[in-house]
Chains A and B, each alone.
Chain A
């Protein structure tokens, strides 16, 4: 069975600084997808970034980028130039390369951006 681990329950970062959130996963699959979701306080969960396992190039979305290490089964999220609006719970998630399958979420990392 697949598992997703986020070893940092809470993190903080100064505004405008860079922070990296860790995620590791366990799978025997070769093709799969990885996601980072963001859940601001009392607001809707939204997708931040996604990565297809067959792509070696790391995904980027504006200030958000990932460091995908397939052999190490590691998928960290880097947030550059942190903003107050980045304060949220961040969930790492894994999904096998099948249409009828479920997403496995990690326990989450609570990130606070400090002014």
Chain B
């Protein structure tokens, strides 16, 4: 089974801090994704990556950056955390073949105080 592991289930940070969310997958997937999930809004794509060192902006990239130095790891960075970034963050991965579904991690519930 594919395993997508997010480093923290719950995280509390302060406004202005630099925050790192880590995601690792163990199935050699080319594509990796970061979403935020908010009630009534579903999942909104922040960034995605289809190869090492490649990244593409999603629908809501402002205030975020990403890093993909290795194929299995995709990091989401909040450069200067703000309270409106309090949310559930989901990481996902998939094979490059467009027919393949995404596999999700357990999510990180991030609170910015």
State the A residues within 8 Å of B (CB).
4, 6, 9, 33, 35, 37, 43-47, 50, 52, 91, 95-103, 105-108
Chain A contacts of B45 at CB under 8 A? Answer: 102-103
Interface size, chain B (Cβ < 8 Å): 25
State the B residues within 8 Å of A (CB).
31, 33, 35, 40-45, 48, 50, 56, 58, 90, 92, 96-99, 101-102, 104-107
Chain A contacts of B42 at CB under 8 A? Answer: 4, 6, 91, 105-108
A97 to B50, CA, bound (A): 15
Chain B contacts of A96 at CB under 8 A? Answer: 98
CB-CB nearest in chain A for B109 = A42
CB-CB nearest in chain A for B50 = A100
Chain B contacts of A50 at CB under 8 A? Answer: 101
Between A and B, 12 residue pairs with Cβ closer than 8 Å are A33-B99, A37-B101, A45-B92, A46-B104, A52-B99, A95-B98, A97-B98, A98-B98, A99-B97, A101-B98, A105-B35, A105-B43
CB-CB nearest in chain B for A45 = B104
Given contacts A44-B104, A44-B105, A91-B42, list 7 more A-B pairs with CB under 8 A. Answer: A96-B98, A100-B31, A100-B96, A102-B58, A105-B43, A105-B44, A106-B42
